[in-house]
Amino acid sequence: MNRLSTDSAWVSCIEKYCKVRHLTFQEIDERFLKKFKIYLKGNCSLTETTAMNVMVLIRLLFNRAIKDKVVSKELYSFDPGKFKIKFPETVKLGLSEKEIKAIENLKNLSNVERH
């Protein structure tokens, strides 16, 4: 359900950008993807990572359409040398072993807190 709500929000961004209800695969070329990425980061205030996640959704839909023979592989804008989905470097933060043990040893937690 979480994936559905996220994907629905991203599809809504696509619809707002295109100002039409239906977008054809023929319209999704490199130029469209570059301009749409700028729109996502500017008008929608998405981070680079979130904008790339939207592009992954578009690529997924494209791949399914190609597999189902709905669209020709020649229209695919994600081949090498074309639009590249590149996620920025991120710093992973986590708890130390000491912090994890402290949480595990907490007492008098409610059922909700224990879950």
Tell me the C-alpha distance between 56 and 19, whole Å. 21
Give a yes or no: residue 111 inside a domain.
no
Tell me the C-alpha distance between 29 and 77, whole Å. 6
Q: Could you tell me the residue range of the domain that residue 31 belongs to?
A: 2-89
> Does the pLDDT value for residue 74 go beyond 80?
yes
Torsion of CA 19, 63, 74, 70, to 10 degrees: -70
Give a yes or no: residue 78 inside a domain.
yes
Query: And the tokens for 50?
Result: 């979130």
State how many domains the chain has.
Answer: 1
> Does the pLDDT value for residue 99 go beyond 60?
yes
Query: What is the pTM (predicted TM-score) of this model?
Result: 0.73
Give a yes or no: residue 112 inside a domain.
no
Cα 76 to chain centroid distance, Å, stands at 18
Of residues 106 and 32, the one with the higher pLDDT is: 32
Give a yes or no: residue 48 inside a domain.
yes
Over residues 35-57, the pLDDT tens digits come to: 999 999 999 999 999 999 999 99
Give a yes or no: residue 109 inside a domain.
no
Give a yes or no: residue 85 inside a domain.
yes
